Amino acid sequence: MDKAINSPFRYAGGKFYARNLILQHVPAHKMYIEPFTGGGSIFFAKAKAKNNWLNDLDETLVNVYLHIQNSPEELIAALKGEIATKERHNWYKNIFKPANNLERAQRWYYLNRTSYSGIMNMQNCYWGYGDKYSMRPENWGASILRTSEKLKDVRFTSFDFEKVIDDAPDNAFLFIDPPYYNADQDKFYTCSFSLDDHIRLCKKLKEHSHRLKFMITYDNSKEVWDLYDWAVEIHEKEWNYTISRTDDQKKTSDKTQSITKGARGKGKEIFILNYSDSSVKQLEIPTLEHV
């Protein structure tokens, strides 16, 4: 399936709004790898490569991907008849105890689709569904099916990023979207990143830079510029995005919840490349469908 589709998930820090900017820098490739898949917006927004490997340290997330890939009808059946309400969200978050991997996937999917910005750290997993800006439950099944089609023959793992980079075959292209360097990420992610992790990633990429092509998206900070001063190109980018919230979220002083409904913001990042844009054949960008 070469059609571009949306990610099946809402994901904090995802690259939904930056997809077109990112794809303009992606070279043609036969092997595609994401060590930090998250919501996978870039994988879903481009044509599939001959070989694809998606990895994320969050095993619970990978479990959901595997059910969508291999048993979509079972997950659809488990979610059949669901309604998006704050009471149901509370039940899945605080009461429901999954007894198997299918029920784990069911719980994660429901909470992800109905939580503010798709934040899956349970301490900050707030109700955040709205009919005007969220995918309705009656459309979840169709989304799961088209996602399953796109995921055919994709390899999934839940490794530390070092193993993924070490095991990547020569000439593979890696899209790398780690947690921000300067961010309070413990609020958003199940698996967060330490300063040592950022340094490990930089060293590992430099070690393999002679045999792999990679593009990294990072927050635009002096520390990151200094870490990657050996990169071939670094591009400063900016884009618009919109965040919505529901009324219960404005009652908290938490900075992650203090955004007015429909507020527009600016995404500001750097794209780090170990190749020159002008020296490689660019990827053909498909038209996005199923928005």
Rounded distance between C-alpha atoms, residue 18 and residue 20, angstroms:
6
135-179 pLDDT tens trace: 999 999 999 999 999 999 999 999 999 999 999 999 999 999 999
Report yes or no on 24 lying in a domain. yes
Split at pLDDT 50, 70, 90, the class of 249 is very low
Q: Kindly state the helix (H) or strand (E) to which residue 109 belongs, with its residue range.
A: helix 101-114
Look at 188 and 231; give whichever has higher pLDDT. 231
Q: Which of 156, 116, 185, 187 is nearest to 34 (CA)?
A: 156
Q: Which domain holds residue 117?
A: 16-240+267-279
Contacts with 23 (C-beta within 8 Å, 6 or more apart), sequence order: 42, 45, 46, 283, 285
Report yes or no on 285 lying in a domain. no
Report yes or no on 171 lying in a domain. yes
Q: Which of 160, 272, 274 is nearest to 207 (CA)?
A: 274
User: What does the pLDDT read at residue 192?
Assistant: 74
Residues in the chain: 291
Question: How many percent of the chain have pLDDT more than 90?
Answer: 70
Report yes or no on 259 lying in a domain. no
CATH of the domain at 118: 3.40.50.150
Domain count, the chain: 1
105-116 pLDDT tens trace: 999 999 999 999
User: What does the pLDDT read at residue 171?
Assistant: 97
Look at 260 and 117; give whichever has higher pLDDT. 117
For residue 39, pLDDT over 80 is answered with: yes
User: What does the pLDDT read at residue 283?
Assistant: 77
Report yes or no on 92 lying in a domain. yes
Say what the pTM is: 0.88
Tell me, what amino acid is at 242?
T
Q: Are 15 and 36 in contact (CB under 8 A)?
A: no
Tell me, what amino acid is at 82?
E
